[in-house]
Amino acid sequence: MAYENIRYEQSGAVATITVAREKALNALNAQTLQEIGRALEEAESAAAIRVVIVTGAGEKAFVAGADIAQMVELGTIEARHFTAIGHRVGDFMEAMSKPIIAAVNGFAFGGGLELALACDFIYAADTAKLGQPEVKLGVICGFGGTQRLPRRVGFARAMELILTGDTISAEEAKQMGLVNKVFPAAELMSKVRATAEKIAALPPLAVAASKRAVRRTETLDIHAGCELEAELFSRLFSSKDQKEGMQAFLQKRAPNYEGR
């Protein structure tokens, strides 16, 4: 597919989606969100892709937020359409069978942090800054931040960030559980890729089932969640990868997973 505001690249079993609007600090306008959505669909449908990385172009910004220049003139109906696009992207990311890692290389504000929150986990550069400053502009989070941030860091921490609009460092984000790991900026992408390749080498059906089971805990009580876990666990025993993985373990050899 042809993209104007993002780059889509494949290296082995890993796809990288880079938001590439450097002059606008990679801000998310409607077109960019739609292109991200199409790239995610492309990755999900490609059998060769097993993990996706989402990052931003340049050294300053991951995504500095939604595009204020586009939003300033929106009315209620247009704003509802804009937020719907962002929610569709976030929902699709969570529903994807393939893990998504956010490589936060710089500013992740507003819609940028919401994009990272829709990923399965976040690695950040030590120079990164994160926050939900929407309240300072007279609005609230529009792409899922009021829902995903509390689930990631807890009610009180999320309320503090959302109600003050404060910016935090990558290290602060790590301490509160928002970011998994922090690396020197020059090492970020190599570290993210190493983790992506580690996951990509594992049996994809088991990886997809693991993601589904954990993601569903956000909407199920523990008993329903455990029932889903048991169902997914048992289904995997009909896969070739389960037989291969266990036989390889017993035979003390490297497994060869086919995703079947």
| Active site residue ranges | 114, 134
**Token digits of residue 117:** 């929150």
Give me the phi and psi of 104, to 5 degrees please. -85, 100
Q: What secondary structure does DSSP assign to 215-254, as a single string?
A: HHTTTS-HHHHHHHHHHHHHHGGGSHHHHHHHHHHHHTS-
Work out whether strand 121-125 and strand 181-183 pair parallel, antiparallel, or are unpaired. Answer: parallel
Q: Are 66 and 110 in contact (CB under 8 A)?
A: yes
DSSP β-bridge partners for residue 131: 109, 167
Return left, alpha or beta for 124; rule: phi > 0 is left, psi -120 to 50 is alpha, else beta: beta
29-51 as b/e, with b when 16 or more CB fall inside 10 Å?
Answer: bbbbbbbbbbbbebbbeeeebbb
